[in-house]
Structure 1
Amino acid sequence: MPAFLRFRPSLFLLPIILMLPVRFVFAAGDAGPPLTIARAIEKASRQHPRIEAHDARVDGAKARVTQARAGFLPRAHVSEKFDRTTNPMWAFGTRLNQASITEPDFDPDRLNNPDAIQNFNTVLGVTWPVYDRGQTRHGVRQAEMGEVAAGLFLDQARRQVIADAAVAYFGVLIGQETLSVVDQSLKSARAHLKMAQDRFDGGFVVKSDLLRARVRISQLTQERFQAESGLAVARAALNAAMGEPVDREYHLATPLAAGNGIDTPLEPWVEASLAHRADYLGMKQQEAIAAEEIRKTRAAHLPSVDLFGNYEINSEDWSDTADNYTLGAMVRLDLYSGGRDAARTREARAALKDIRALLREMEDGIRVQTREAFLQAKSAWGRIGAAGAAVSEAEENLRIVSDRYRNGLLTIVDLLDAEVALDQSRKNRFQALHDYKTSLARLALVTGTIDETFMGEGPCCIH
């Protein structure tokens, strides 16, 4: 079978391909207001649903502090009760409370078989836990540490959202550059198709050269469709990262530029990670809360002291009332709780052991994540330079090969190989740029140094 027949299925696309413009107009790429990376990050940190959720958790933590502190304060209550009884003891006591006892009330028959009596009872009571075995004091400390932990987790969530928005922004940029590379390749391929057509018309090459050039355009056109769909997905991902509707359109205004390289060695980055990672610091707060829980359960074995007072009004029909008051103090010591308090202490110790094990695992993970992001950034930075040189060499190679093919010194296969090499070198350069930018975002995230000022131009400052 002749070689050119192996490409015959692609020939059905030729009428459509040859009618396509050199550069497609991709609406989502050009429409909409300009969007810088700084603006994208600002939008994400302000309106992403994850931030809203963590804000609510911080509000909940603040409310728990207020609840815990309320344990230091006295509690006041008022109650109103109505009852009607023929119970001998309660009937006589009710008359006493109403200050309505008369001499006939001491008649044994009346004492044993009293008439029904009703009573309206109003009570204003106050209780004050002067010492509750330290439960409130320890609870306040835990609630305050919980508020700090919630704030730290909010910070980490904001940093994660910022990193996600930056990575999504770079994803759109690489999608645009990929589309641009394919368009450049299509332009070059059409020029070479014309060259092959001229040489074929002049009888200098066989028809297979012409067919190979057309198939190359067919392949690039399919690549362009894929690049367009990939760019559309990247734009939707960026909108989601910013907390915007996924179909909103923006024109990205920050270019995909190399920026600065990393000169700082690895160790300061690792130290920054352990010092600034908000989620790690939040887990340290959880460790402190668990340690406080042990002290809280131990204090449960101590006595408690409460003050109380009641002011009471009793009346049968509100035509006449009687009042009284009660003041007192109570000391209570639990002698036996069925092992409950001791079991609570063992449970708290187990929880602390669990958190400390997770902290060790998290610390090792942070060290690995920092090392990985650092080395990936260094690797990508080196690839940028190498890929840039490769692009220049591939462009020069294609120029030479094109001239030699035009003069009949090389075959169409050599020309197409040179095209593919240039196409791949351009993609490699943009991919290296993208990888460096995303590695910088991840490095700033894992070290806890990323914030709203992140631009992806170079490494963040290590404090």
Structure 2
Amino acid sequence: MKKSAWKKQLTIMLSSGILLLQSTSVMAAPQELSLDDSIAAALKNNSAIKMALTDQERAEWGISEAKAGTLPSISANAGGSRGSSGAGSSDGTNYNSSLKLNWTLYSGGRTEGLINQAKLNADSSELNVAKTKQQIKLDTTTGYYSVLQARNMVSVNQDTVNNLTEHLKKVQAQFDVGVIAKSDVLRSEVELANAQQNLIKAQNSYDIAMSTLNNIIGAPLDTENILKDELVYAKNNLTIEDAVNHAFANRPELQQSKISIDSANQGIKVADSGRKPNVSFGATESWSGNDFPGDNNNWSMNVMANWNLFDSGQTNAKVKQAKASLEKAEEQAVQTKNSVELEVRQSYLSMKEAEKRIETTHITVDKAVEDLKIAQTKYYAGVGTNLDVIDAQLALTQAKTNYTQALYDYNVNKAKLLKAIGQI
């Protein structure tokens, strides 16, 4: 009875485990993803955009910090002492406390310059968010197309394995009836083994590409997605002149360069404020005595002007540094503009080059398919060689590989072009 009960318990546990595995498999079912779905997930989950938004928030708080320089500040001070106040006097406790107000009325333009720099920094941070979004979109698009390319290559290599497997069967059948030599069987087996190796590599490349895409969109790396889209050719009619003009008008980096120049000009004003007077208003109220806060009350108000007439060249050095920063910002703006134009031209020309390859490789695939059929027909009829069939199969595999690569290069470079002109 005990043994029967134990078996019954084990059966229940195994059944529960099977049900759990089945439910887990259902929960882990692959999800369908379009390119737009992937981009939306990346913009939501990618750490780069989260960091850019954090930087933007910090820059906005920097404006508040700079504006605080235009407002008064109040400080409190309190202290006490116990001891003799003089010869022959008794020990006692004495308290001192005060409230102080300080308000900078004029800083020679320093405060205003710092506020303007903070505002410009916030604007630049906002543009950085836009730039980060564009880069994430490009990374996601490239990752998505990489999975599509890898998937196509798995299909290409699987077709090759299937064709060579079928060919080997026919070769073996002909050898069995004594029509062909053993060398044809051996060569066919070698080519099939090589094709199987290439298929394994293609499957591994697909797994790596899928993990890379998952990393970009913020999904678990082992998630198996089903991609809805395909690698297709969609013509882009943009001219290179229009592309460059769009880039100059829309790229966040170019707008950030202008902001950097404006910020450097404000930096000169801040540095030059050291040559101007500083005017502030102050007020103090103090208490002292044996009881806290003190019985004796005093107050004072004053307006003070401070003008540093000679600082051993410190202000002049700061101004020179600020002007050097401006020159650097101007040169960086030129460099950025040139880099943007180069990026546009590289992406455009690479896209056009891939576009030409799509047409030629597509024709090559059709011819390679026909050539393989002819080689197979001649060989199976006894008027061709096994080498002709294998060469034709290798040529077809290469043609399909080239066509897939051309489609991938075209779509990726088109995405790079859209990012380069600020429209992705």
Same fold by TM-score, threshold 0.5 exceeded? yes
Aligned match of 1:38 = 36
Aligned match of 1:151 = 126
Closer, same or farther: CA 37–320 of 1 in aligned 2, 3 Å: closer
Matched position secondary structure for 2:275: coil
Any conservation in 2 of the 1:119–1:315 contact (CA below 8 Å)?
yes
2:307 is the alignment partner of 1:333: yes
Any conservation in 1 of the 2:253–2:336 contact (CA below 8 Å)?
no
2:288 is the alignment partner of 1:288: no
Aligned match of 1:400 = 374
**Equivalent in 140, 153, 159 of residue 165 of structure 1:** 140
Query: Cα distance, 1:313 vs. partner?
Result: 2.0
Matched position secondary structure for 1:390: helix
2:114 is the alignment partner of 1:139: yes
Aligned match of 2:77 = 79
Query: Cα distance, 1:255 vs. partner?
Result: 1.6
2:180 is the alignment partner of 1:205: yes
Aligned match of 2:16 = none
Measured against aligned partners, the alpha-carbon deviations of 1:393-444 in whole angstroms (never above 9, x if no partner) come to 1111111111111111110111111101111111111111111111011111
User: In 2, Cα distance between the equivalents of 1:323 and 1:161?
Assistant: 64
2:232 is the alignment partner of 1:257: yes
Matched position secondary structure for 1:67: helix
2:353 is the alignment partner of 1:355: no
Measured against aligned partners, the alpha-carbon deviations of 1:373-398 in whole angstroms (never above 9, x if no partner) come to 00111111121121111111111111
How many residue pairs get aligned? The number is 398
Closer, same or farther: CA 318–143 of 1 in aligned 2, 3 Å: closer
Any conservation in 1 of the 2:104–2:279 contact (CA below 8 Å)?
yes
Closer, same or farther: CA 341–113 of 1 in aligned 2, 3 Å: farther
Aligned match of 1:248 = 223
Any conservation in 2 of the 1:373–1:439 contact (CA below 8 Å)?
yes
Matched position secondary structure for 2:152: helix
Query: Cα distance, 1:203 vs. partner?
Result: 2.1
Matched position secondary structure for 2:312: coil
Query: Cα distance, 1:165 vs. partner?
Result: 0.8
Query: In percent, how many aligned pairs have the same letter?
Result: 25
- Identify which range, 343-352 or 280-289, moves more after superposition: 280-289
**Equivalent in 317, 321, 325 of residue 343 of structure 1:** 317
Any conservation in 1 of the 2:287–2:293 contact (CA below 8 Å)?
no
Closer, same or farther: CA 271–85 of 1 in aligned 2, 3 Å: farther
User: In 1, Cα distance between the equivalents of 2:293 and 2:385?
Assistant: 120
Measured against aligned partners, the alpha-carbon deviations of 1:166-186 in whole angstroms (never above 9, x if no partner) come to 100100111110000011111
User: In 2, Cα distance between the equivalents of 1:191 and 1:183?
Assistant: 12
Matched position secondary structure for 2:384: coil
The letter of the residue matching 2:239 is P
2:214 is the alignment partner of 1:239: yes
**Equivalent in 53, 56, 75 of residue 55 of structure 1:** 53
User: In 2, Cα distance between the equivalents of 1:74 and 1:205?
Assistant: 102
Any conservation in 1 of the 2:97–2:294 contact (CA below 8 Å)?
no
Matched position secondary structure for 1:268: helix
Closer, same or farther: CA 31–230 of 1 in aligned 2, 3 Å: farther
Closer, same or farther: CA 193–320 of 1 in aligned 2, 3 Å: closer
Query: Cα distance, 1:31 vs. partner?
Result: 5.2
User: In 1, Cα distance between the equivalents of 2:190 and 2:152?
Assistant: 23
Matched position secondary structure for 1:300: helix
Measured against aligned partners, the alpha-carbon deviations of 1:95-122 in whole angstroms (never above 9, x if no partner) come to xxxxxxxxxxxxxxx7x88766642122
Measured against aligned partners, the alpha-carbon deviations of 1:158-202 in whole angstroms (never above 9, x if no partner) come to 111110011001001111100000111111111111221222223
Any conservation in 2 of the 1:172–1:231 contact (CA below 8 Å)?
yes
Query: Cα distance, 1:84 vs. partner?
Result: 4.7
Ranges in structure 1 where 5+ consecutive residues have no aligned partner = 1-26, 92-109, 451-463
- Identify which range, 296-305 or 412-421, moves more after superposition: 296-305
Measured against aligned partners, the alpha-carbon deviations of 1:188-245 in whole angstroms (never above 9, x if no partner) come to 1111112212222232211111111111110011001111111111111111111223
The letter of the residue matching 2:179 is F
Query: Cα distance, 1:45 vs. partner?
Result: 1.1
User: In 2, Cα distance between the equivalents of 1:114 and 1:55?
Assistant: 66
Q: How does 1:346-425 map to 2 (within 5 A)?
A: 346-425=320-399
Give me the CA root mean square deviation.
1.9
Closer, same or farther: CA 41–140 of 1 in aligned 2, 3 Å: same
Ranges in structure 2 where 5+ consecutive residues have no aligned partner = 1-24
Any conservation in 2 of the 1:134–1:300 contact (CA below 8 Å)?
no
2:32 is the alignment partner of 1:64: no
Any conservation in 1 of the 2:95–2:294 contact (CA below 8 Å)?
no
